[in-house]
Structure 1
Amino acid sequence: MHTKLLATAVAAAALIGLSACSGSDTSSAAFNSADVTFAQDMIPHHRQATEMAQLAAERTRNTDVLGLADHVIAAQQPEIDTMSGWLTSWDKEVPADSSGMGEMEGMDHGSSSSDMPGMMSEEDMSSLEAASGAAFDRQFLTMMIDHHEGAIEMASQEEVDGRIDQAVELAEKIQADQTAEISTMQRLLSS
């Protein structure tokens, strides 16, 4: 009886060890559709945020808004580059770099920009581009809060469904960074 229990325990330990090894190999080597969707959707999402942020330089003198806009560009462009590299290495389509929503809406990379939470419409972008001064600041902050909330929603989905550790870690970083930026933007709106 004692030998049978010992044999069962050894077999169970070996099975657990094998599944742990194969699980870590799979999670670091094989991507899934959630990883691809995350990267393919987050790239144009980030591009639109950087496009919005680039408008600030010529439309406001508010140093807090300018600093936030610079931070958005500095944070999100390297993430775009990272995700583009993943897609290339996975032999998946990298969304075309386009300027403006019109071109983005024509992209076919799994979902349209209108399906992505927080994406601004062409009208929203035109309205932001036409604004200046305090009106620009309010519109920029309000739109960027919505945009960030969309990115957080997309990142949360990757955290649940993604398989690649680096992609899940980036999703966690996006969620943390943009949650903090939303707090900053809400404070700026109320002041």
Structure 2
Amino acid sequence: MAIRRSPLRRSVLRRSAALVAATTAALVLTACGGGADSASPSRSAHSDHGATSDAATPSTGRTGHNAQDVTFAQQMIPHHRQAVAMADLAPTRARSQQVKDLAAQIRKAQDPEIATMTGWLKAWGARVPEADASGTAGMPGMDHSGHPGSDHSAASMPAMPAMPGMMSDADMSGLEKMSGDVFDRAFLRMMIGHHEGALDMARTEQAKGAYGPATALAESIAASQSAEIAGMRKMLGER
């Protein structure tokens, strides 16, 4: 004998079946969607990591350089060379031990910096300035009219420095002929002017350079040579 269900009971059963079906479908979709979502963050993280790496690799601040960086190195190398050439005179000409110690300090600091900047220029495929004994050769715009074999009719016109603070050939020759207290005073005055020129160049590099190590070196030069200028002025004031 067939059991007859009431319309109300049939309605409840239909709703229950629909609910079970909907719940099952939702679980299936969630499982499928979970796989996609679990892969998606992985891809997103990978993509973000790749973008970060790509952005860091060509970072101009550390690995790239610009024209200012090249100019800074090409000018600071001969500038440093001349400071070292001046410092080389002190051991045999200076009377003051303070001046001799300062000269040794300048050489100790600037020789490695010359080597560092030379390495940059070679790596960049840029010209490395040459130098003669006075440290003035190979500098753009330098007047070498006072050199042997040149037109001595221009002797009354001193060689003009190509960069801030550079000494002329006549300045260097004059310093070589001095000794004792006279040398000490001339050395300090000339080196103050030389350092002040380096400060100008270093500040320009800090403002316009792109290569991180070069701007860091410029900052170091500005700090150390500012301190040396203060020390040299103090020495001159004590005389």
- Name which of 157, 160, 165 aligns with 2:207: 160
Structure 2: gaps (5+ residues): 1-47, 143-160
- Name which of 116, 125, 141 aligns with 1:112: 141
Please provide the CA RMSD for this pair: 1.9
The share of aligned pairs that are identical, in percent, is 47
Q: Where in structure 2 are the equivalents of 1:29-178 lying within 5 Å?
A: 29-100=63-134, 104=137, 107=138, 111-113=140-142, 114-178=161-225
Cα separation, 1, equivalents of 2:132 and 2:123: 21
Cα separation, 1, equivalents of 2:80 and 2:211: 20
**Normalized against structure 1, the TM-score is what?**
0.83
Query: How many angstroms does 1:24 deviate by?
Result: 6.8
Cα separation, 2, equivalents of 1:144 and 1:49: 7
Cα separation, 2, equivalents of 1:41 and 1:26: 21
Query: How many angstroms does 1:88 deviate by?
Result: 0.5
Q: Which has the larger radius of gyration?
A: 2
> Matched residue of 2:68: which SS?
helix
> Matched residue of 1:29: which SS?
coil
Q: Which amino acid aligns with 1:112?
A: G
Query: How many angstroms does 1:100 deviate by?
Result: 1.7
Report the structure, 1 or 2, having the larger helix content: 1
| Ranges of 4+ aligned residues in structure 1 off by more than 4 Å | none
